[in-house]
A and B are shown apart, each in its own frame.
Chain A
Amino acid sequence: MSRTNWHRVCTTRDLILDAGICVLVEDQQIAIFNIELGTTENKLYAIDNFDPISKAAVLSRGIVGSIQNRVVVASPLYKQHFDLETGQCLEQSDVKLLTWPIRLNEDTVEIALDSQ
């Protein structure tokens, strides 16, 4: 049986609006993006920081944006786009990144890792 295990990873002061940062949670590198959708709504995303195409842990340093209504990050090395919601690579259908639930608890950013 799996139980949601929320980890406190950083605070809102560590976030950068419309850009990424990287956190380490139980040996897992996770890229966190804080995106302003419209004028009022902000949304957090958590995806694997490791880019399986360039084989480097760099996705938190990519440019974020939207491609036909999907919120994406572009890999800084070879510019493939990854859907922040699902981790799906837009250019290569067989590449999909891990994603994690992420939430704000007051000023604290929390990520859920499944633990058995």
Chain B
Amino acid sequence: MSGEKILVVGNGMVGHYFVEKLRSHDANVDITVIGAEPRPAYDRVHLSSFFDGLTAADLALTTREHYKELNIEAHLGEQVVHIDRGKKQVETDLHRRFDYDNLVLATGSYPFVPPIEGADTKGCFVYRTIDDLGEIYAFAQHASSGVVVGGGLLGLEAANALKNLNLKTHVIEFAPGLMNVQLNRVAGETLQSEIETLGVQVHTEKNTTRINSSTEGRLTMEFSDGEELVTDMIVFSAGIRPHDSLADQAELEKGIRGGFIVNSECQTNDRDIYAIGECAAVSNQIFGLVAPGYRMADVVVSQLADGTLHFKGADMSTKLKLLGIDVGTIGDSLGRVSDSLKFDYKDERNQTYKQLVTDASCTKLLGATLVGDTSDYEILHQYVINEIALPSQPESLILPNINGGSNLLGVDALPASAIICSCHNVSKERIEASVSSGCHSVLEVKGDTAASSGCGGCAPLLQNLVENKLAELNIEVSNAICEHFPFSRQELYDIVRVEEIRTFKDLLHRHGTGLGCDICKPAVASMLASHWNEHILKDQHRGLQDTNDLYLGNMQKNGTYSIVPRVPGGEITPEKLIVLGQVAKEFDLYTKITGAQRIDLFGAEVHQLPSIWKRLIDAGFETGHAYGKALRTVKSCVGNTWCRYGVQDSVGMAIYLENRYKGLRSPHKIKMAVSGCTRECAEAQSKDVGVIATEKGWNLFVAGNGGMRPRHAELFATDLDDETLVKYIDRILMFYVRTADRLQRTSVWLEKLEGGIDYLKSVVIEDRLHLAQELEEQMEMLVDSYACEWKTTIEDPAKLKRFRHFVNSDEKDNTIQFVRERGQKRPAIVEA
């Protein structure tokens, strides 16, 4: 095929996979791709992660530069509107013409919007592209409720997104049950009742007839049964339709449900035109998943070369987390094959449902459905795709094993040829070979084999296989914090606690090697502080501290330090303000109001720090821990003492919380805020711990974040009294200190925490781990042993001795140079 012109229409997941495959197969073939979306192909399967903070760049599967390197001509943001089969040419909306020898259509599909009057009103959206999600996100910022039309897979994914955008969420389904394409009635009901307990309202057997918009911009949906629903926005996710508009004009045959009809070589009725992915219909079937599309791409690459591969249908098994609920369907999950037998297990206590479908002789598994618990999905999937013989009592595969353990095969029992990753067609053999050849982590094996880089569904199985193989090869797997300790942060934390270790040296002698480093030392220093709360500049702790902790100030770019005294809750007396001004003036410090309601004085040299802090402490200030992985500030709004809307004393609560948790050393910094009413002027929902006053008490939010990856805090509990509020915060913070990784903010910690916020609630509110008392006691100890680090430092001559630039001279550091700007000093720019 070298030298031929291959033209690909559509740069979605499948079109992209195709051009990369084709290029790696043939370095010389002339490849051109034309894509309607403005950006190169991206990971549509993980589209919803956009709402978790992933950007278009994170989702990208390639870049324009990469296409250039591969010598692939890409025209993006341009749509093919006409095919001239006679001239073998296509024409685009920009009136440009491109020749082809072979044309590959990979135009995917588009969301189906039912023909409802008003479905194009402002506030109505679809869910397919990054741009769609961007629009939904922007609109949701000013909405309080949202409706998803469509209770299938994608609809529920969209519902999850709306719920996470803090909207009151409804799902409207035309059929009697959710996901009726994949699930039987019982499975659909189990899923529905679980979803409803999460606060999403599901309306089945509802047929929308009209959408009206009111003058305030709200939407009213009318249903055929006469009922109505008022909402702010609507997302249509009622199925997909193949993008086959090019078919009619070019006289390409279409399937019953649309799509370009192709044979097993993926050829349309014009043998020079292929169709792959969601726009292709094989025996009238459309495949709405990415893996079958990839297989079709493989077929076309092979057809263009030697023609050995054929498309033989595809596995439509899926495993998903829908609104936090695990759902898996494997093979012929609805038992469409005649004579098939079914085995059901339903557990109402744990809201789980499992069903197996076997052949008439009970020797082969044809399909399965799992709701609420998909831990056996991968293995059951293997039974189906690799036709593994069933045990004599197939039901044992889904019944709980009263004696513990599992009735299922382990990964080691799978045949070498078993396909582990169906997206990328990677076998067990291939993965094991990759491990043997030196890829010793899931990440490396993923890079080497592409396994698990599609839908991600095979990730647990892959992990299992890699671990097994490593064990077999006697290679240790490490989640070690660094080269000096073979332990994770959490394991080290437990060791420190259980063995009552008080110094880094002791820990290193007992459990580590080498001298330690700038990763493990500060991490251990923080653990020691949260257990014993000794002064961090005690001789044995001194060398462990990050620079900022070492001089109790943030080091700035020129080696000078900043000084941020604590201003609890942001409340400050005029007297104290004056002192700050006087000190700044006397020592010539650059002065700035920080983003967290306090004042930062910059440009102090090491030797000046003690005298500056002496002045501040004498005036009643304390250290603000702006340098530490510790509590920073508790921001407040003015609250009910002054504000006409305030319903509680937010300033009082903020000051109380700040004084309670000041000095608490933690895996990363902790920020809090308290607002006096729902107007939320203190921005509590962007903090690690956010408190918002209600008529009855306080609502508590956790795990919010500003910074690099902003995240809204999640509602943890409502209408708490003062005492319960503090009790919960004590427990949450201590549990975070105990279990988070180093430099992990509460946001990422909660995202990684198995079971998420519900699990955290069960630990903190229901005391599921019987830890509550211990956590509270540990916090109490820390609160009681608090001492201002700067106060202790200036009272100790031995510690003060360290605040000099040179130990043998009173000279100043002559590399520090300032210039003046807007009436204050700032570091001079160092010439390179």
Q: Do A and B bind each other?
A: yes
- State the CA gap A43–B551 with chains docked (Å): 24
A110 to chain B, nearest CB (A): 12
Smallest CB gap from B832: residue in A? A55
Q: Which one of B543, B546, B550 lies within 8 Å of A17 (CB-CB)?
A: B543
- State the CA gap A66–B518 with chains docked (Å): 9
On whether the beta carbons of B518 and A65 are closer than 8 Å, the reply is yes
On whether the beta carbons of B559 and A23 are closer than 8 Å, the reply is no
On whether the beta carbons of A56 and B559 are closer than 8 Å, the reply is yes
- State the CA gap A77–B560 with chains docked (Å): 11
On whether the beta carbons of A63 and B483 are closer than 8 Å, the reply is no
A-B contacts at CB below 8 angstroms, number: 99
Smallest CB gap from A14: residue in B? B807
On whether the beta carbons of A79 and B518 are closer than 8 Å, the reply is yes
On whether the beta carbons of A63 and B557 are closer than 8 Å, the reply is no
CB under 8 Å from chain A, chain B span 509-549? 514-518, 520-522, 539, 542-547
On whether the beta carbons of B802 and A35 are closer than 8 Å, the reply is no
Q: Which one of A19, A35, A69 lies within 8 Å of B542 (CB-CB)?
A: A19
B216 to chain A, nearest CB (A): 53
Q: Which residues of B contact A68 (CB under 8 A)?
A: 483
On whether the beta carbons of B808 and A10 are closer than 8 Å, the reply is yes
On whether the beta carbons of A63 and B544 are closer than 8 Å, the reply is yes
- State the CA gap A54–B558 with chains docked (Å): 8
Q: Does A98 contact B (CB under 8 A)?
A: no
Q: Does B813 contact A (CB under 8 A)?
A: yes
A22 to chain B, nearest CB (A): 5
Q: Does A50 contact B (CB under 8 A)?
A: yes
B518 to chain A, nearest CB (A): 4
B18 to chain A, nearest CB (A): 40
For chain B, the count of residues having a C-beta within 8 Å of the partner chain is: 34
Q: Which residues of B contact A65 (CB under 8 A)?
A: 484, 514-518, 520-521
Q: Does A9 contact B (CB under 8 A)?
A: yes
On whether the beta carbons of B539 and A16 are closer than 8 Å, the reply is yes
Q: Does A61 contact B (CB under 8 A)?
A: yes
- State the CA gap A72–B484 with chains docked (Å): 14
Smallest CB gap from A71: residue in B? B515
A90 to chain B, nearest CB (A): 11
- Interface membership of chain A positions 70-105, coded 1 if the CB is closer than 8 angstroms to chain B and 0 otherwise: 011010110101000000000000000000000000
Q: Which residues of B contact A19 (CB under 8 A)?
A: 542-543
Q: Which residues of A contact B807 (CB under 8 A)?
A: 10, 14, 21-23
CB under 8 Å from chain B, chain A span 27-74? 29, 35-37, 50, 54-58, 61-69, 71-72, 74
In the complex, given contacts A19-B542, A50-B815, A64-B515, what are 15 additional A-B residue pairs having Cβ atoms less than 8 angstroms apart? A10-B808, A16-B802, A19-B543, A22-B805, A23-B806, A23-B807, A23-B809, A24-B808, A56-B559, A62-B518, A63-B517, A64-B543, A69-B514, A71-B515, A76-B547
Q: 5 A-B Cβ contacts within 8 A?
A: A10-B808, A17-B539, A57-B805, A61-B550, A65-B517
Interface residues, chain B, with chain A CB atoms under 8 Å away: 483-484, 514-518, 520-522, 539, 542-547, 550-551, 555, 557-559, 802, 805-809, 811, 813, 815-816, 830
Query: What are the 5 tightest A-B residue pairs by CB atom distance, in nearest-first order?
Result: A76-B547, A65-B517, A74-B518, A19-B543, A56-B559
